[in-house]
């Protein structure tokens, strides 16, 4: 049985009569947090665990750092994929809140780069879209490629060579 918590959408289909659509139900489980206000309240509860009133990480953060899966679990989701689904819900109404929560996780990884043993933080940031590349510009400094000019002297026609 499919539970639908929003109106059904109609979409066109290759085998439908001209001018008629096929009803496509919303896929996936029903949303746990249906209102932006409810999502924001849970987000703020989660943020207070990790950030104090001065905007610094709390002591509990060292023992239990913020994670994407932890954020999803705190919201009541079964896994993090539902968290990413909320980026699209209601034409992106939840997107700023999801991004705010994910930014805390990213900030934690950035903070961890200043400590020793930062391999896990580098891995976490790469999974969040960061790139670990080196860029070398071999050119004149203005974006033009390096020009190699060989100036080989030609033998004189009168030489004995």
Convert the pLDDT of each residue in 81-107 to its tens digit.
Answer: 888 888 887 788 899 999 999 999 999
Question: pLDDT, tens digit, for every residue of 139-159?
Answer: 777 878 888 888 887 777 666
pLDDT band at 160 (very low <50, low <70, confident <90, very high): low
Q: Could you give the CA distance from residue 118 to residue 112 in angstroms, rounded to a whole number? A: 6
Q: Could you give the CA distance from residue 76 to residue 89 in angstroms, rounded to a whole number? A: 16
Q: What's the pLDDT score for residue 29?
A: 58
Which stretches does DSSP call E strand in the chain?
9-11, 22-24
Residue 123: both structure tokens together: 């891995």
Q: Could you give the CA distance from residue 83 to residue 128 in angstroms, rounded to a whole number? A: 14
How much is the pTM?
Answer: 0.62
Q: Could you give the CA distance from residue 48 to residue 60 in angstroms, rounded to a whole number? A: 11
Q: In this predicted model, which residue has the larger pLDDT, 60 or 3?
A: 60
């Amino acid at each position: 049985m499919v539970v639908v918590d929003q109106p059904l959408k109609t979409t066109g289909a290759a085998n439908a009569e001209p001018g008629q659509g096929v009803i496509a139900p919303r896929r996936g489980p029903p949303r746990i947090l249906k209102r932006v206000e409810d999502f924001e309240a849970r987000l703020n509860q989660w943020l207070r665990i990790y950030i104090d009133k001065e905007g610094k990480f709390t002591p509990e953060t060292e023992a239990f750092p913020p994670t994407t899966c932890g954020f999803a679990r705190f919201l009541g989701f079964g896994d993090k994929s539902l968290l990413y689904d909320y980026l699209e819900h209601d034409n992106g109404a939840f997107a700023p809140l999801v991004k705010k929560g994910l930014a805390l996780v990213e900030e934690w990884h950035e903070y961890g780069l200043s400590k020793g043993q930062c391999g896990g933080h580098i891995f976490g940031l790469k999974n969040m879209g960061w790139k670990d590349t080196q860029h070398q510009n071999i050119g004149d400094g203005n974006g033009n490629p390096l020009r190699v000019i060989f100036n080989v002297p030609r033998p004189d026609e009168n030489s004995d060579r």
